[in-house]
Amino acid sequence: MTVLRLLKTPPVHKDYSATGVAAGDSARIVAARTTGIVTEAQARHGASPTVTAALGRLLTGALLMGSSLRGKERITLQVQGKGPAGALIADVVAGGRVRGYPMRPRAELPLNAGGKFDVSGIVGDGFLHVTRTFDTGVPYTSAVPLASGEIGDDLAHFFAHSEQVPTVVAVGVLANPQGVLAAGGFIAQLLPGADEKTIEFLEKNARSLPQVSSLIRRGLSPEDIVAQVGHALEPRITHLQPAAFSCSCNRNRVVRALIGLGPQELEAMAAAENDTEATCDFCGQRYFFSPQEIRDILDSAGEAKEASQE
């Protein structure tokens, strides 16, 4: 009974991921619906349609890559492109909590020749940096040149060249000027000891499917997508996980960041007439501190320093 309850599909409007195995447990397939996450990212950052498509694909990729994170593990994706959007950053922690931001949210380009958002144009040439932070807090970063700037290709290129794991990646955002209509994606990759032919099957299945955002738009669930990508390889769902845009910032963390600026900066803020405003890059949350509050932070930081010297 427990298993049945765990595998019960969440309501249709909720974002979540489905993880499965196929080909005798030699391949893993993860699919996700991220429409709500991308809608929220668009609203929080006031992002243009093309930047929303680029960031939405990256957020979806991060969520898919982070589907098996535990404890304090984290994956951070940084697209450092030379295009108008500047850098794009997304990170994911255990429990399907993902967040991200574009450096220049309002950058925009005309639709490309195919009538699609010009994601590769707005990203430009550059590098994809992938940082895996282990439960111990130790980070490990590797970087690959961007394959096309379309994000999905870049993630597949990273898996093939940096991690030597044959992987099929599809991430997509369907939007119109009014907003995000559907977003989602899938990753299919071989597990150690897999037959190399399995990846050809997975690639063939992936190529035969319509764009992943239109599958989501049609109402296919992440489980349906796992089944389609693993077609003829006896796919089996192993777990479902909720997914959401979620930022770990809070007032205490902002206070610590302010202390990190040093006493001179804080003195200047305490002497100012206006409140000091600090904005979280990841989620756009604004925090305000009156000159008196800055004074209190200065005093408490001074006391903490004295205490640590005793």
282 and 251 Cβ atoms separated by less than 8 Å? no
Complex with Zn ion: residue 63 or 229, whichever CB lies closer = 63
Q: Which residues are paired to 241 by β-bridges?
A: 17
**Residue 176 Cβ, how far from Zn ion at the closest point, in Å?**
28
Q: Which residues bind Zn ion (CB under 5 A)?
A: 247, 249, 280, 282-283, 285
Contacts of 304 (CB under 8 A, 6+ apart): none
**Residue 99 Cβ, how far from Zn ion at the closest point, in Å?**
7
**Residue 280 Cβ, how far from Zn ion at the closest point, in Å?**
3
Complex with Zn ion: residue 88 or 249, whichever CB lies closer = 249
Residue 187 is classified by DSSP as: E
Residue type, 135: D
288 and 269 Cβ atoms separated by less than 8 Å? no
Complex with Zn ion: residue 254 or 269, whichever CB lies closer = 254
Complex with Zn ion: residue 131 or 285, whichever CB lies closer = 285
Complex with Zn ion: residue 159 or 245, whichever CB lies closer = 245
Complex with Zn ion: residue 147 or 249, whichever CB lies closer = 249
Rounded Cα gap, residues 179 and 177, in angstroms = 6
248 and 290 Cβ atoms separated by less than 8 Å? no
Complex with Zn ion: residue 28 or 99, whichever CB lies closer = 99
Q: How far is CA 278 from CA 87, 265, 269, 270, in A?
A: 20, 13, 12, 14
**Residue 41 Cβ, how far from Zn ion at the closest point, in Å?**
12
**Residue 286 Cβ, how far from Zn ion at the closest point, in Å?**
10
**Residue 283 Cβ, how far from Zn ion at the closest point, in Å?**
3
Please state whether beta strands 97-102 and 244-245 pair in parallel, antiparallel, or not at all (unpaired).
parallel
Q: What are phi and psi of 289, to 5 degrees?
A: -130, 125
Integer-rounded Cα Rg, in Å, for the chain is 22
**Closest Cα partner for 51 from 212, 175, 214?**
175
Q: State the burial class of residue 306 (Cβ atoms within 10 Å of its Cβ: 0-12, 13-18, 19+).
A: exposed
Beta-strand (E) ranges in 41-106?
Answer: 74-81, 88-93, 97-102
**Residue 274 Cβ, how far from Zn ion at the closest point, in Å?**
22
